[in-house]
Structure 1
Amino acid sequence: MNILVLNGSPRKKGNTEIMADAFIKGASEQGHQVEKVNLGHMKIAPCLACEFCFTHNGVCVQKDDMAEILDKVDNADMIVFASPIYWFSISAQLKAAIDRLYARAKKGFNIRYAALLLDSASDGVYRSAVAAYEDTCSYLRWENKGILTVPGMDAKGDMEHSDGVEKAYRLGKSLVSE
């Protein structure tokens, strides 16, 4: 299976990326091809809702880094959204990329599976991010392969000393090859 991990954290080698890398290790050990895209420093403009993509086979009118991501999306069987929680939702970097997936709304997706990896300083802050993810999976008929939430991430690197690494690894490892 081809898996695309979209890391929405702007922090290089931070808790979200550590968690994503643990997931990737587990999935890779199961024989999956996994690619991670760090969105934090990419140029991804908000969707214009112009629907140019609807009449141009999914090509977006905007010329930014999202074109590269959309090519990767087209080749993915599974997508994994990884994000820190900022103000009770995913990061703006990940949200911009998700909104730009609209370019595939008419063309469609090859994606059949999805997973969500979230971390935060506080517990009890995941509800809106999880609800949006679950609604997306339902609407697009993507099978949810798992949701991981890891609270207590107060400082950079806290993930390395938490059970989040093992849980992310096990989630990746749980994906059986088809």
Structure 2
Amino acid sequence: MSIAVIYGGNRPNGNVETLTKLATQGLMIEEIYLKDCVIQPIIDKRHAEEGFSDVSDDYNAVIDRILPHDILIFSTPIYWYSMTGAMKNFIDRWSQTLRDPNYPDFKASMSSKKAYVIAVGGDEPYIK
């Protein structure tokens, strides 16, 4: 069993990173910090005749790091009732990878993984 943690937070040692480290304490994990990566937003060409264009950024390197793992933990603070933009850009790009001939087994590989989300918000939710 191998685990990759994908951190979507932008603040070093923030609440979600602290909670994630507590939850994974004693486990062998690979940590991936999206804040240290350049991942461009998707330009949706799913229906374009020419298909997706190659993008020169760190996205494929991150995909190559997570694919060998059995378990993925997505760790993100909640910003405006959702995941961070960095995490959203990363997940949005999966649409491109599903059609990338360099990753012919991407869908099958990702569907065989267990995935967990650790999310932290701080807007006094008990008042709402």
8 Å Cα contact 1:43/1:65 also seen in 2: yes
CA apart distance, 1:73: 2.4
Aligned partners of 1:122 and 1:109: how far apart in 2?
Answer: 38
Aligned to 1:139: none
Aligned to 2:9: 9
Gaps of 5+ in 2: none
User: Which structure has the highest helix share of the two?
Assistant: 1
Candidates 75, 87, 105, aligned match of 2:80: 87
8 Å Cα contact 1:84/1:91 also seen in 2: yes
Assess, with a 3 A threshold, how the Cα gap between structure 1 residues 114 and 76 changes in structure 2: closer, same or farther: same
Q: TM-score, normalised by structure 2?
A: 0.76
Assess, with a 3 A threshold, how the Cα gap between structure 1 residues 123 and 101 changes in structure 2: closer, same or farther: farther
Structure 1 residues 132-158: Cα deviation after superposition (integer angstroms, max 9, x where no partner): xxxxxxxxxxxxxxxxxxxxxxxxxxx
Coordinate RMSD, CA, aligned: 2.5
CA apart distance, 1:122: 2.3
Q: What fraction of aligned residue pairs are identical, expressed as a percent?
A: 25
8 Å Cα contact 1:74/1:109 also seen in 2: no
Aligned partners of 2:53 and 2:68: how far apart in 1?
Answer: 17
Q: TM-score, normalised by structure 1?
A: 0.57
Aligned partners of 2:23 and 2:108: how far apart in 1?
Answer: 23
